Amino acid sequence: MTVVTFRLSQSRKPGTPDVAGFYDPRTFSVQYIVSDPQTSACAIIDPVLDFDEKSGATATHHADELLDYIQREGLTLQWILDTHPHADHFSAAHYLKEKSGAPTAIGGYVRDVQSLWKDIYNWPDFPADGRQWDQLFQAGDEFRIGSLSGHVRFSPGHTLASVTYVIGDAAFVHDTIFQPDFGTARADFPGGSAHQLWASIRDILSLPDETRLFTGHDYRPGGREPEWESTVAEQRTRNKHLAGTSEAQYVAMREQRDRELPMPKLILPALQVNTCGGQLPEPESNGKRYLKIPLDALDGAAWD
């Protein structure tokens, strides 16, 4: 069976973006190119750097697919944006900056995640000040993609640093809300909070009903085709974790479910890369790069 890995959600009216979604079946992740039909300016959101944990191999197939699309469509890259330091794939932000020269950005709250993981990795000299990105956004900050207006919302709970990018009528909600038939994100990573996640979700769902919501992952329940677009109205009425649910009910469900979930298989290597803006560790004297995996660092995590 061939899995759908690309869809284009077209602009509906002036001031709204075209959104090209690129699905990575290996990590269940969705990369986005958000473009302005009027000026052909664009931004990349949550790009994936390929990594095979079995062999230790890295590659740039998915990131290069984004660059090929930008060139083919005659777009101009203005931003490379991450919504948060991902725990299940490597960010290709650093690679894409090297290839394109476009600036990288993330929420400035990443400094809290860096400080937390600096201790986990025992990196006493690590600069946990966000300097690995060109721009650190705060809640309410505005930015532009050509003629399109965007703003940043702070959406903690899944991580301490998660932000949502709202660009025209499109909101990129990363790992807060998934498709309605799957529910919502876990909140048990270091620094996570089910109460904060609930508040972040309510903030996102306060956007207008017709707002297009684009998720960071799709886990294809029942083996269906990948999906990553919904609306605020659909999520309010159909999301299996949210419809008709109170905060207390949600937090109890989320915390119980999270206790039963094993950690993502890439969390320890991925955070080592993604707290550095997608930069791989520096080569050692033999020219090889090495990941540092702390043992017994995530107490109480469920096993497969």
Phi, psi of 71 (to 5 degrees): -65, -45
Residue 248: partners with Cβ closer than 8 Å, 6 or more residues away = none
Q: What is the pLDDT of residue 1?
A: 66
pTM of the model: 0.97
Beta bridge partners of 172: 165, 214
Neighbours of 271 (CB within 10 A): 24
Write the pLDDT tens digit of every residue in 18-71.
999 999 999 999 999 999 999 999 999 999 999 999 999 999 999 999 999 999
How many Å apart are CA 44 and CA 103, to the nearest integer?
11
Per-position b or e across 81-94, b if 16+ CB within 10 A of its CB: bbbbbbbbbbbbbb
How many Å apart are CA 204 and CA 235, to the nearest integer?
10
How many Å apart are CA 245 and CA 229, to the nearest integer?
22
Phi-psi region of 90 (alpha: psi -120 to 50; beta: other; left: phi over 0): beta
Largest CA distance in the chain: 58
Low-confidence ranges of the chain (pLDDT < 50): none
CA angle 271, 56, 79 (to 5 degrees): 50
Handedness of CA 80, 131, 29, 27 (dihedral sign): positive
Write the pLDDT tens digit of every residue in 211-240.
999 999 999 999 999 999 999 999 999 999
Is the Cβ–Cβ distance between 214 and 228 less than 8 Å?
A: yes
Q: Does domain 6-263 have CATH number 3.20.20.70?
A: no
Terminal C-alpha separation, the chain = 27
How many Å apart are CA 107 and CA 121, to the nearest integer?
22
Beta bridge partners of 58: 51
- Give the position of tokens 């479910």: 257
Give Cα separations from 280 to 28, 87, 283 (angstroms).
22, 15, 9
Q: What is the pLDDT of residue 301?
A: 87
Is the Cβ–Cβ distance between 264 and 258 less than 8 Å?
A: no
* Extended beta strands in 65-141, E state: 76-81, 90-91, 104-107, 135-137
